[in-house]
Amino acid sequence: MTLLLSDNKNGEKPYELPFIYFARIYAALAVVSLHTVVPIVMSYGKIPMVHWWLGNIIDSATRWAVPVFVMISGALLLDPRKQDSPITLYKKRLRRVGIPLLFWVEVYFFYNHFSKGYPLSLQFFIDQVILGQSYEHLNFLFIVLGLYLITPGLKEILKKIKQQHLFFMILLFLSIGIFWTETPSTPTLFIPYIGYYLAGFFLKNSTISYKYRSFIPAVIVLSISSIAIGTYLFVSHTIENSNGLYFYYYLNPLVILLAICVFLMIRNRHTIFPTSTFVPRSFILTVSSATFGIYLIHPLIQDILGNMLGITSLSSPYIVLGVADVITLTLMLSFGITFVIKQIPYLRTVV
């Protein structure tokens, strides 16, 4: 253990760690890319195999996005040096996540009613929220709210636990996540992600020895390849695509390994802000601050592009251009809308 990892002795405050800002940006780009290729992946057998494989590889290569978002939360909030009382923590987190959750659940609820004819009833709304059946990306907010709830207790444990014991604690919770089979429901969504949450704190305070860093890209490539090949084998031998997507699950062992390696690579690569004037620090901070809004808004943008304008990753005869167009339009529109909302008093709290 000590050969691989060493404690971070720089005494950095979490919000001063440059890699956090870059990790948010990369994760936002990854999650938009992932959702862009969903129509391709779900069209197995209906489109040319080379097109399907492109979507499969992009999907496999971006499956780390949501786990890394969870790890970022752990890196920022589990630091025992932050002395917020539980009440203060809950107030801050409810304002930061609870208000956007309430707002966007309603936005998507009414959007689905008017655009897709979903029932406009209280029972349907409750089913969507309590059973975690609203737009899938909003489940992330339920996950982090659950993790925030147990954060004070976890911080007390982290004050006393040794680094090696924490390592095995993370392995335990990640293993629970791997074998977690309970039917998804909002109150328990966070439980399988406790391992990721703890891993974010653990990896933020640790650095991998230099001689082992060269293995990280190789492990990333191997993980992505294994996810893509495994998905192909499963999908090609099932009647319905949804039955063959096991390797895409965020708690699949390969995705766990991929997410940890990507987090480590970003952690090691971005130890300082770049000094180049081509990409000023202010730009990085602005884009990073907009990633939450991009995450919340981008499925709505993609749905409008696809259902109302006919622009999807499959709409172009050149599949690479189709994917690139949707990613670019989604990012630009989501960022622009987020930027405008942030300028409006009161409304800025929803992004």
- Comparing C-alpha atoms, which of 160, 207, 170 is closest to residue 8? 207
**DSSP 3-state of 7:** strand
pLDDT tens for 298-333 read 999 999 999 889 999 998 889 999 999 999 999 999
Q: Write down the pLDDT at residue 115.
A: 81
pLDDT greater at residue 75 or residue 115: 75
CA gap 214, 220 in Å, rounded: 11
CA gap 331, 47 in Å, rounded: 26
- Rounded to two decimals, the pTM is 0.90
Inform me whether the pLDDT recorded for 159 exceeds 50: yes
Q: What is the mean pLDDT of residues 83-89?
A: 88
Q: Write down the pLDDT at residue 206.
A: 79
Where in the chain are the domains? Answer: 5-350
Q: What is the mean pLDDT of residues 211-239?
A: 90
Confidence of residue 130 (pLDDT cuts 50, 70, 90): low
Q: Write down the pLDDT at residue 4.
A: 41
**DSSP 3-state of 45:** coil
Q: Write down the pLDDT at residue 7.
A: 41
Residues whose CB is less than 8 angstroms from the CB of residue 38 and which lie 6 or more positions away in sequence, other chains included: 55, 59
**DSSP 3-state of 345:** coil
Q: Write down the pLDDT at residue 109.
A: 86
What are the residue ranges of helices labelled H in the chain? 18-36, 38-41, 49-61, 65-77, 86-93, 99-116, 122-130, 139-160, 163-178, 194-204, 210-213, 215-235, 253-269, 281-307, 319-342
CA gap 327, 313 in Å, rounded: 9
Give me the percent of the chain exceeding a pLDDT of 70.
Answer: 88
CB distance 195 to 174 below 8 Å: yes
